[in-house]
Structure 1
Amino acid sequence: MADQHRGTCFCGAVEVSASGEPIDMGYCHCGSCRAYSGAPFVAFTIWPEDRVEVTGHVGSYDKAGTSERVFCSRCGGHLLLRHPHLGLTDIRAGILPSVTFTPRSHLNYAARVMPVRDGLPKFSDMPVEIGGSGELIVE
């Protein structure tokens, strides 16, 4: 049986669970992630959408028609982003405490507001596999 990871929103009213292991982990520096989180960048874990379940009362917002941001309708805690055009769900790294966060890259690094020198690959936008240019920025 696959590993089951569980976490909750800030108030505990919404539970998020994911089975197995994430297929990718990293950081996003895009303006939307920065504005939504109020942070210079966010940490993400990527899962196939069929391995993620959400229970409880959630709200959502889809600014551009490509990524649905899901939050607790009670406390407003950020939970995940659904990317239906990719069949993927981005669960914020802090939501599932049993997942060891091991970032592999930075996305949208051209939009950064804070440089990060950690030796990880830094994509100008996104990898080719998910619709980006695949261009890397040298640290």
Structure 2
Amino acid sequence: MVTAHKGTCFCGSVEIEVSGAPEGMGYCHCTSCRAWSGGPVNAFSLWKPENVRVTKGQDLVGEYAGVPNSKRRFCKQCGGHIMTDHPEWGVTDVFAAAIPSLIFEPGVHVNYAETVLPMRDGLPKYRDFPAEIGGSGKKVAE
């Protein structure tokens, strides 16, 4: 049985569905994600692109690419953030908060060198990204 989770933008005009299991979950502390999310840290859930579908309101989905590997998607009606495509890594980040039924189980912190909200939770904290996705692979202390 394939697990599916449904979510929406802030106003509910755009609906999404993710299926299967996420490729990973965690926290991003980079300046870009903080500015986009409006918070001190962004909780992400990464999915294979084929497991993410817009099921309603596709015509209301806008896109902004502020950095080369992030195509951020949002609702043009309410401005609510929906997801970020990362084509270089072959994943789509669906904001964990946009999927209410998903049990968020973070496994990593990325871009922790940029943090403005230190989190002492025992999870690995990468200065930038793990080496397998093009980062330095260097970890930093809590």
For residues 21-61 of structure 1, the C-alpha deviation after alignment (integer angstroms, 9 at most, x for no partner) is 11100000000001111211110000001110113111110
Output aligned runs, 1:1-139, within 5 Å.
1-54=1-54, 55-56=56-57, 57-139=60-142
Q: Give the superposition deviation at 1:63.
A: 1.1
Deviates more, 1:24-33 or 1:84-93: 84-93
* Runs of 4+ residues over 2 Å off in structure 1: none
Partners of 1:34 and 1:133 lie apart in 2 by: 21
Q: Give the superposition deviation at 1:65.
A: 2.3
RMSD over aligned Cα atoms:
0.9
Amino acid at match of 1:40: P
Partners of 2:53 and 2:112 lie apart in 1 by: 30
Amino acid at match of 2:125: K
Which consecutive unaligned segments of at least 5 residues does structure 1 have?
A: none
Partners of 2:110 and 2:49 lie apart in 1 by: 20
TM value normalised by structure 1: 0.96
Identity %: 53
Partners of 2:132 and 2:40 lie apart in 1 by: 25
TM value normalised by structure 2: 0.94
